[in-house]
Structure 1
Amino acid sequence: MMEIHQTQTYKGFRWQVTFFFLFSWLCHSASGQLHYSIAEELKQDSVIANIVNDLGLDVKEVKSRRLRIVSRVSEKFFSVNLGNGDLYVKDRIDRETLCRAAPTCFLTFDAVVENPLNIYSVKIDIKDINDNSPIFFHDTITLEINELTPPRTHLVLQNAEDPDIGSNAVQSYRLSDNQYFTLNENISIDGSKILELVLDKPLDRETLNFHELILTATDGGNPKRTGTALLRIIVTDYNDNVPVFTQQVYKISISESAPINSTVTVVTATDKDDGTNGHITYSFSRTAENAFHTQMFNINPANGEIKTKGHLNFEVTKHYEMSVQAKDGGGLLAQSKVLIEIKDENDNAPEISIASLSTPIPEDSAPGTLIALIEVHDQDSGENGEAECHILGSSPFQLVTSTSRYYKLVTTSALDRELVPWYNITILATDRGSPQLSCIKYIKLDISDVNDNPPVFVKSTFAAYLPENNLPGASIYSVYASDPDAGDNSKIIYSISNINTEDFPVSPYFSINIETGVLYAQRSFDYEQHKEFQINIMAKDNGSPPLSSNATLIIHIIDQNDNAPKILYPSTESGGSPFFEMVPFASVQGSLITKVIAVDADSGHNSWLSYHFIQMSEPSPFSISQHTGEIRTSRMFQEKDILKHKVVIMVKDNGEPSLSATVTLSLVVGDHFQHVVPQINNEFNDGEPSSNMQNIYLVIALALISLLFIIAVMLVIISKCKESKPPPEFPTLNTNLYSQFDPRMLSNYNNGTLGLPYAYNVCVALDSSESDFSLLKPNQNVPVENLIDADDSGLGNESSKETLSPVEVKQITFWTFFDGLQL
């Protein structure tokens, strides 16, 4: 029999579950809200419905659109299979735990999908099944009845409790067979059943002082469930009046903000008996429902005053229902109900939760980009639970209302990570209660970088100064470019190239560290070859696509004193043979004898030259200008003076350390060539034995050369010059007689120090192919750039001319005859 009953019970349960499944497919509204009905206690993973099809979605898209359940309560009990779209039971659902004895029980949640964003409300009606048996709060119920209690006396009994509702709740009671008592059920004004024990015939304590009966409660489920309690009736002496409450039901409203120990109400009962039989004691009936509610209230047993003993919370429990009993001294009981309604106060601030957040977002995100989905919830009800959201402060974001509880956080303008790398968005939610309550939520939104900024140099042109003769491989300069982007977008690579691609390449001369921007010299430089380099430096970032910028680096080579002065005149390349200058005996003091011409390949202070005598006879009739190199007579000559003077001239630059060059010059004093020849012979034959034959050869050669020179000069003067003013001492020669010198050597130097303070009558052709002389008038104009200024000090003079004209050298004459003498 037990196995058959269980089978029938299981079959009935399956039929009821099947009915609720069929009913759930048909129950969804057309207003965007799905409505399902299911039975409680479904097995885990039981399928409720295909929610994807009911929402009109494509099951292939639900994964990409991130279909999910959003609810603080329902997400514990339901979940969606994104593979097939079925909504199934995730955990055990006990309707009695969720809704207690409420006539309806619903679980709601929001089905949220993205791309595009849609929110669907789903409401699931939890139907009751007969899964609970009736139960009495006490297994044993003890009653005391006076033996003189008249028949038809009604004694209120404790009802059995069944958490199920409707037909599954307690439907009937049954008392075990006896001859004294029966059961009676009455309906109170609030619709609840009152179970009463009715005395059928008088009791006799002396015959039987107690009775034990079985009280059975049966529900209306299929199959039916029952619960029993032992009813123990003690027969006492006479007490013929039962306490009576002034009201069968007490209805009270109290604010949830009422402090602890606040008086809720006072229940009152009266008893016509005297003495102990008329003394009433108040208490809460011992029921399961009262056990829960009486945690928040207590009752004064003497006067029936009910007070709070805990903090009330409308959001937890909106109303309380308690049974109060009054018991007299004789043990008679009366019961009444107290209904307490909790009034809502605005005691809950809104709550902000982030349903979806995208961070970081690219800085090039278009206006209107969705950042986050925000849910606002307030546990209060009515206006106290209505909240509005807005963003505090100014920011490129705004809140767009999606539904009554959801807001979209979107961008309103372009973002720039370099200006603002992140935002701390402050969202304020305020309800409409009085006083208003609010809450603040902070969202930190990071902005991801996009390569939208090229590297930037501190300036467009840099200048570096590098001394010549530098050590190869040494760092000479460092450039730096900054990029406000981040990550690889700000990683900079440096490179160098020529500004003018037609110039020689800079790679053999310079190199750059591609990461640090440090520039290195690949070789040692010579200021005399390269005075300046202009290099294009490019800084390119590592973004995609890469961005770059350029800067110009001008490298100035600084001159060092690495070149000694070079003496152009008198020439030092004659193999050690001395040079001669003839000085007229009648020269007055200060007469210009000759001028030492020297150049220095260096520049600036390093090319400032000074001229000095370092070896000469004392006292000397000659002096040299320290700045111009001009040698002049310091006094008149006398007959007793030495006619030959040998001087060593040192040319020194102004560098550090100073470099110098020397040249030896012989100065011969005489009025005629005949006076000069013996001095020349002595010069050449100094320290060697002479012979008459050699002297004869020298005199003959000198005479022939002089004759030829005089004839040539006369022919030129007759043919090309109508007027000629001969020099005072020598009709065919200028005042000063110089040895042979090619002025074209000056074209290789820019710093000549020999000036031309006068215009000269006789000029010798520079080119050997020219066979005639070029004579100048005393007043003939000569271009300034073709002359060497006599006043030039020789200090840092740099000429841009590459060639010099034939008049750049003063009083140049043939020394051919001296060359012949040297033979």
Structure 2
Amino acid sequence: MDTTVTVRFVTGGDFPHIRIKEKAFTFPENQPTNTVVTKVTGSSPRAGSLSYYIASGNLDNAFHIDQLSGEMSIKKPLDYENIEKYVLWIEARDQGFPPYSAYEKVEITVLDVNDNHPTFEQEPFHAEILENLSPQRVLIVSAFDQDSGPNGQLEYAIIEGNKENSFSINRATGEIRTTRPLDREKAAQYSLIVKATDRGSAPKSTAVKVLISVLDVNDNAPRFSKIFSATVPENAPVGFTVTRVTTTDEDAGANAISRYSISDASLPFIIHPSTGDITISRPLNREDTDHYIAKQMNGLVTYNISSGNDDGLFSIHSKTGVLSLAKPLDYETKQKHELRVSATDGGWIAKTSYVTVNVLVTDVNDNPPVFDPVEYFPVVQENVPSGTTVVKMNATDKDSGPNALMAYVIQSSDSDLFIIDPNTGIITTQGFLDYEAKQVYHLTVKAFNVPDEERCSFAYVNIQLKGANEYVPRFVSKQYYFEVSEAAPKGTVVGEVFASDRDLGEDGIVYYLIFGRSRKRGFSINKKTGQIYVSGPLDREKEEKISLKVLAKNEGSIRGADIDEVLVNITILDANDPPVFTQELYDVQVNEGLSPGGLVTFVSAEDSDSVPSWSRFTYAITANYEKSTFTINPQTGQVSVASELDRETVPVYNLTVLAVDSGSPAATGSAILIVTLEDINDNGPTLETTSGEVMENQRAGTTVITLSSSDPDLAPNQGPFSYSLVSTGAASSYFTLSPSGELTTSREIDREQISDFYLPVIIKDSGTSTSAFRTPARMGHSARITPGALTACANLDLQVQSVIYFPFTSNTTTDVKKGTYTQLAHKCVIVLGQEKYLLLSNWRGVVTQAYSGHCQKQFAVRVTNWEVSAVMQINLSCLL
């Protein structure tokens, strides 16, 4: 489905004006609701009062603005832990249709208040530790506080249950350590109360129970409860129970279980290893022995490590059997050593016994944490939510157990926008990151053992912010106005538009383009600089004002809301354009008999320039020929004949007509005028054979000559020609002329009587005019015949009173045979022109002046003589 969107561009002065005294505010997060933030005012030059709205940025609808008064207040409780900063866009909208709006930005920063209690990660905490160990770490109690700054910094303390001050706690890290070796036999469990307190001005605290169980070590020997004695009859049977011995052991569990044995195997008694019951093992004889005493028999025993001590780490005292270290142990190298120890008595035949001694190496904190790698380069998008993970630091400690416990801390930083979890090493954001404010952050992170902070290492974190295309390009002006001459060549810069983008980097690069129908208006734009330049022909007379729609956008496809548009108004200034003829080519046909002054055609031009001197013009004809054949009226454009035309001389005229305006310099327009002359029968045939000879005394019918003629006119005013003799005088009786031009004798000729004949010949072409000739015939031994021509055209310049004879005849004719002259008669008729200017004499062939005054006329007179008809063209000029 197609949708039509109508976009109207208006001048910047029509938009509302919005006023806010302060545009940045700070409130604590416990600021009461309904607190007034600011009051927005404004005015509209167009349509009445304004209405106010929060256009964007009002997260959770935390703020409210009164549409009429413009008073903005806090609507809901603020929570620093949720939103630290609000960027509100305030809209002022007028009452017009469609409504126009103006916008202004207001920034509200929320300050943290100590409104959160510390929270422990678990409750209660449990830990176990072996008795008799040297002071060491037991566990770490960890709590967190959602507040920031001092309000979120915690201190730990043991407030109850610390008998004999057996434990200490690190106030900063929460690490609980023993202060001395513990004795399970004195206290098997400790119940501590640990309190976490923040550092706020009104500190808040939370307590948690920590249960520490002391694990037993077999550090107490069994003790016989008394000295046992018994009496038994000597005849008591084997297996008779003599007595039961008992022991006590302060240890617990398996460490408190005693096993019994009689060291002297020669005695007639055995003891149950578990119950301690002593029974008779063989018959007794009082006479041999009346009492028995079980006692230790000391002997010389030698001790030795027989295997498992390849590295020489251990030594044993050969007499006492004390096993001791010869070299330092390394828990990280080997955690358990299995030694085989031998004990050899000092008897004649020595007896040896073996025992396996397992030495378990316990770890001590002898290795610092080590980062791998030591430098980190995380990339974070700007505007990510607070708490977004940036990077996880990775440090390892070769120690184990409590000795491998470590904590992380940001040792130094150029910003407080990052925090690190001391346990996991995860660095997260706190607050909002703005690429436009800062692009790179440098942190130094420390990993250390707890609580031995001296065993530590450092890593370096270079956080590169990645900009988000959060800002839209905005034109600095609501509209642009430029001027350019319509004569400006292609490439001429008209003006420059500029749009700013608050983004940095590639997201802040602005590209410009002319879109829609504006692209076909004769202008283009440099997409990088915003320069608008001429790219096509301009014509102020067709379009004086041009409006272009220019778009500013970031790189990539247009998504709709990420662009800005502006209207560019260009006024086309007038230039001295040449006049323009209504036709580029005029093609006319005129009769070649058209007299000077006769109308050929009208040409017409137009000039729409606004300057009067540029729009006034005159017509002219370029001098393409030796004489001015045509003339043009400089004001009307009427083209007329200036001199007589002759198609046979110039059949076609290719003229350039000009229209020259009055500018300085003058601008000239031109057109082509082609004048084609139409043929008239204005040329009589020309006799190409004008004389001939014939022998005297030839019989009648002898061919004298065959006449041939030519005519420069075009068909049908050319041949075929027809010939005839003028029947005058005696000469015509001697010859016969056929229509095809064959001249033959009609009787015998005697040269002594007539030696030359002059025969008038009439030649008729296929047109309307005729030429007459006289053919002379001279007789010696032969007769010579010469035709004489009658001319059909003449020019006349008449001054006062003039006489002209028709040039194709004479006043008299000669009768060759009689030698006399006879006056010929003419019939003269004016076929073009008015009779009041001329008087014709039919007898004399005379033209006389009959009009006094100024005249310049063209006439045509048809003259008929001897059955010969011809048209004479007369150009008459007179000035009295």
User: Normalising TM by the smaller chain, what interval?
Assistant: 0.3 to 0.5
TM-score w.r.t. the length of structure 2 is 0.33
The higher radius of gyration belongs to: 2
Considering fraction of residues, name the structure with more strand.
Answer: 2
Considering fraction of residues, name the structure with more helix.
Answer: 1
TM-score w.r.t. the length of structure 1 is 0.35
Larger RCO (alpha carbons 8 Å, 6+ apart) = 1
